[in-house]
Amino acid sequence: MLFPLSKDFSSSSIFQRGGQHHEKPIHRSWSIDHTGSAERTKELHKLLTDQKPYAHHERLAIRRANEGKKADAERLSIFREDLREMHAKIDAEANERRQETFRSIRAHKNRGAASDSNLRQTLRDQAKDHQNFLGDMQERVWQMPPIWGGEPIRETKERIQARSETHKHVVQQTKDYKEMIKSLSDELADRGPQDWTAVPRTSNDTIIKHRKAAGIATLTQNKESYEAFLEGMEEREHVRILGERGEAKQRCRESDMRLASDKTKLMQSLNDTSVLKKAELDGIQDRVNARGNGDPQHSEFTGYATAGYHPVDKSSKRLRDHAAEAADRDADHAGSAAKLLCLSMPLNLRNRVVAANHPRNKASLMGTGIDSPMDWSEMNWTQRWALLSRHAPQSAVQKAQQKAGMNLQGLDLSASAGSVADQRTLSPRTLGLATP
C-alpha cells in the first residue's frame, strides 16, 4: 500500500489530495435584513391610532413592497455586476495561466529537442572517436611483426604520457560530474516555490513522509512535555508524602505520650480498685467465717444461711405450720425439692444442657421417665430436674444437691408429675389455704 486510506477516501479524488491545499470554506450563514422595520412599525401604529380604513393599510403595504422590490432589484443588479466582474477576472486569469502553460510546454519541447540533438551529436562524436581509436589500433597491429618474429615495437614515451593523461582526465571528469550532480541536487532541494516554472504535484510518498515526520515531531514534543509533567507530579507527591509522614510521626509521638499517660492512670485506678476489692473480699470472708454452719448434717447446724445472715428463732406457730406441712400427705414435697435443686444449678449450665438435649427430642427423654416430648416451659419442676440430672455433669448435680441441702432419694416423683386436679384427697391445711 502506497498510502493509508481514510474514511473519506474515494477513487475519483485519489489523485487530487496531494500537496498543501487551502482549508475548506466555511458555510455561509444568511441573515434577513430588518432595515427600516422600526419605521414601518411606527407607520402601522399611526394608521391604527388614526383609525384609517383598510384601503390605507393596503396602499401602505403596496408602497413598501414596491420599495422593497426596487431595493432588491438594485441589489440584484449590483450582485450580477459583481459576478460579471468576477467572471471576467477569472477568465483573464485562466487565459493567462493557459498561455503560460502553453509557453512552458513549448519551452520544455524546445529544451527536449535541443537535448536530443546534443545527445545525438555527442553519440556521433563518441562513435567517431571510437572508430578512429579502432583504426589506429588496427594500423599499429598491422605494423607489428609476426608473432615470435622478433621483439615487438615498444610504445613511445609520448604515447604512454598521452594514455596516462587521458586516464587522469577521465577520472577528473568523473569527479567533476559527481560534484556537479551533488551541487545541483542541493540547489534543487533548497529552491522555493517561486523558482519553479511549473510547480509539479508532490507525490503521495513524499506527503506521507512529511506527515509522518510532523507527527513524530509532535509526538516527541508531547512525550517530553508529558514526561516533564509526570516528573513534576512525582516531585510534588514526594514532597506531600514527606510532609504527611512528618505529621503522622508527630501524631504518633503525641499518641504514645497520651497512651503512656492513660496507662499510668489506668494502672493507678486498677491498683486502687484492687485494694478496694481486696478489702471488700476480706470483709466478706470475715462475715462468712462469723456466720453459723449451714450444713444440715453438722452438729452445729442452725439453718440454711448465707453470708451476713443470722438465723432467728422460729415461733411456735411457724413450727406448727412446718410440722403440719411435713405431715401433709397431699403436699408436693418432691416438686418443691425438685424446684430447689433446679434453681441451685447455675442458669448458664441449665441453658446449655437444655439446648444440647431439647425435651422435644425423644432421644433426650430416654432414662428420664417422661413419655411424651414437650417444651421446657410446659414441664413441671420434677420433669425438669429429671432432664437436668440425666444429662448434666454429675459434679454439677452433686454441687446442686449440696447447695440445696437435700436430694430426691426416697421421694415419689411419679405422684407429683401429674397436675393438682388429679389429686383426690387434700389435707385440711391445704383446703384452708385454698379457701378464699
pLDDT digits (tens, 9 = 90+) for 316-370: 887 887 777 767 666 666 777 888 888 888 888 888 888 888 888 888 888 888 8
Question: Is 81 a residue whose pLDDT tops 50?
Answer: yes
Contact between 429 and 325 under an 8 Å Cβ cutoff? The reply is: yes
Same domain, 136 and 174: no
* pLDDT score, position 19: 47
Contact between 342 and 388 under an 8 Å Cβ cutoff? The reply is: yes
Q: In the chain, what percentage of residues exceed pLDDT 90? A: 26
How far apart are the C-alpha atoms of 339 and 333, rounded to whole Å? 10
Q: Which is higher by pLDDT, 128 or 42?
A: 128
Domain-embedded: residue 21: no
Specify the number of domains making up the chain.
4
Q: Grid coordinates in use for 168? A: 587522469
Same domain, 361 and 392: yes
Same domain, 180 and 238: no
pLDDT digits (tens, 9 = 90+) for 393-430: 888 888 888 877 665 554 444 434 443 333 334 444 44
Phi, psi for 180 (deg, rounded to 5): -65, -45
Least confident of 152-166, 173-187, 235-249, 303-317: 303-317
Same domain, 236 and 138: no
Same domain, 41 and 139: yes
How far apart are the C-alpha atoms of 128 and 131, rounded to whole Å? 5
Q: Grid coordinates in use for 186? A: 542541493
Instruction: Find, among 325, 337, 318, the residue nearest to 386 by Cα.
Output: 337
pLDDT digits (tens, 9 = 90+) for 194-239: 655 666 677 788 888 888 999 999 999 999 999 999 999 999 999 9
Average pLDDT of the residues in 52-57: 80
Least confident of 121-135, 290-304, 354-368: 290-304
Instruction: Find, among 344, 413, 429, the residue nearest to 379 by Cα.
Output: 413
Domain-embedded: residue 91: yes
Contact between 197 and 104 under an 8 Å Cβ cutoff? The reply is: yes
Element (H, E) at 49: helix 37-50
Question: Is 263 a residue whose pLDDT tops 80?
Answer: yes
Same domain, 222 and 327: no
In eight-state DSSP terms, residue 199 is P
Question: Is 71 a residue whose pLDDT tops 80?
Answer: yes
Distance of CA 191 to the CA centre of its chain: 55
Same domain, 162 and 216: no
Write out the residue range of the structural domain in which residue 104 sits: 37-145
Question: Is 17 a residue whose pLDDT tops 80?
Answer: no
Question: Is 273 a residue whose pLDDT tops 70?
Answer: yes
Contact between 380 and 417 under an 8 Å Cβ cutoff? The reply is: yes
How far apart are the C-alpha atoms of 87 and 54, rounded to whole Å? 48
Same domain, 73 and 137: yes
Beta-carbon contacts of residue 360 (< 8 Å; ≥ 6 apart) = 373, 374, 375
* pLDDT score, position 431: 45
Domain-embedded: residue 27: no
* pLDDT score, position 92: 92
Contact between 327 and 321 under an 8 Å Cβ cutoff? The reply is: no
* pLDDT score, position 308: 46
Q: Across the strands, what pairs with 301?
A: 293
Average pLDDT of the residues in 23-45: 67
SS3 293: strand
* pLDDT score, position 161: 92
Least confident of 115-129, 305-319, 336-350: 305-319
Contact between 293 and 314 under an 8 Å Cβ cutoff? The reply is: no
Same domain, 273 and 325: no
How far apart are the C-alpha atoms of 88 and 75, rounded to whole Å? 20
* pLDDT score, position 435: 43
Question: Is 392 a residue whose pLDDT tops 80?
Answer: yes
Q: Grid coordinates in use for 251? A: 501524631
User: Taking the complete model, does pTM exceed 0.85, yes or no?
Assistant: no
Torsion of CA 120, 122, 128, 131, to 10 degrees: -100
Contact between 384 and 341 under an 8 Å Cβ cutoff? The reply is: no
Q: Grid coordinates in use for 221? A: 514534543
Q: In the chain, what percentage of residues exceed pLDDT 70? A: 72
Domain-embedded: residue 232: yes
Domain-embedded: residue 375: yes
Same domain, 163 and 265: no
Domain-embedded: residue 174: yes
Question: Is 432 a residue whose pLDDT tops 60?
Answer: no
* pLDDT score, position 413: 44
Count CA atoms closer than 13 A to 221's CA, side-chain side: 5
* pLDDT score, position 165: 93
* pLDDT score, position 4: 47
CB atoms within 10 A of CB 263: 10
Residue where a domain stops, chosen among 291, 312, 333: 312
Domain-embedded: residue 12: no
Cα radius of gyration (the chain)? 66
Categorize the per-residue pLDDT at 295 as very low, low, confident or very high, splitting at 50, 70 and 90: low
Amino acid letter, residue 168:
K
* pLDDT score, position 130: 93
Same domain, 174 and 262: no
- 3-state SS of the chain: helix, strand, coil percent to 5? 70, 0, 30
Domain-embedded: residue 14: no
Residue where a domain stops, chosen among 125, 145, 165: 145
Same domain, 221 and 285: yes
Cell 537535448 belongs to 115
Instruction: Quote the mean pLDDT of the chain.
Output: 78
Average pLDDT of the residues in 135-153: 79
